[in-house]
Amino acid sequence: MGKQSEILQNLIDSFAKLPGIGKKSARRISYYLINSEMKVSEKLADAVIEAKKKLGLCMECHNLTEHKICDICGDDKRDGSSILVVENFSDLYMFEKLNIHKGLYHVIGGLISPLDGIVPSSLNLASLFLRVREKKVRELIIGLNHSVEGDTTALYISEKLKDSGINITRLATGIPIGGEIEFTDEVTLKQAFMERRIF
């Protein structure tokens, strides 16, 4: 293969850096954009820029929002006494799609993993503990993966809140050990939620 345009290579490399997109897909997307009308690329670029400019994190739960408080936290029909702790937005989205949790969420933004430099202070945990103390929370549901990091984080949270008097539950282990919530099918996840246990 001959030397290809640096501009094209740059475009392919940019896509290849995104999660879940390999070199091959990056190349296909790049060719697609180059071959389609200008407005297709403009729409894509505008959508990325707009999302980056306007989306921020909810002050309460760290969910994505274009306001100070997200739609879930701002919905007074939801039960503020129950908080489901999740790792990231995609896990929150999974639970929302199942429509089984009527309470609020707290997105902690990762899992404790000292080897990767992720310590409790790297995560949104201080705000969680503050929320639990100030907002009359009765149940904290730990919706974290059943992995070493998920277990460590769950344990850390329950230790920190052991004198708070709230119920701490964790999803049942219907989720395969080491399995990711994001890739668990809906039936299994729903069951794990319904059968959550005191942690």
102 dihedral zone (left: phi>0; alpha: psi -120 to 50; beta): alpha
For residues 4 and 121, give the distance between their C-alpha atoms in angstroms, rounded to a whole number.
Answer: 45
Minimum distance of Zn ion from residue 192's CB (angstroms): 23
For residues 60 and 103, give the distance between their C-alpha atoms in angstroms, rounded to a whole number.
Answer: 13
Q: What tokens were used for 9?
A: 């290579």
58 binds Zn ion (CB under 5 A): yes
Containing H/E element for 189?
Answer: helix 186-194
Minimum distance of Zn ion from residue 128's CB (angstroms): 12
- Which of 29, 61, 141, 154 touches Zn ion (CB under 5 A)? 61
Q: What tokens were used for 182?
A: 């994001």
Closer residue to Zn ion in complex, CB, 74/176? 74
Give the up-direction half-sphere exposure of residue 160: CA atoms within 13 A in the CB hemisphere: 16
- Which of 11, 12, 26, 73 touches Zn ion (CB under 5 A)? 73
CB under 5 A: which stretch of 57-65, 108-116, 151-159, 184-192 binds Zn ion?
Answer: 57-65
Are the beta carbons of 67 and 74 closer than 8 angstroms?
yes
70 binds Zn ion (CB under 5 A): yes
- Which of 11, 29, 63, 83 touches Zn ion (CB under 5 A)? 63
Residue type, 167: N
Are the beta carbons of 89 and 66 closer than 8 angstroms?
no
Site string for Zn ion, 133-172 (x = CB under 5 A): ----------------------------------------
Closer residue to Zn ion in complex, CB, 60/149? 60
Minimum distance of Zn ion from residue 74's CB (angstroms): 7
83 binds Zn ion (CB under 5 A): no
Q: Which residues bind Zn ion (CB under 5 A)?
A: 58, 60-61, 63, 70, 73
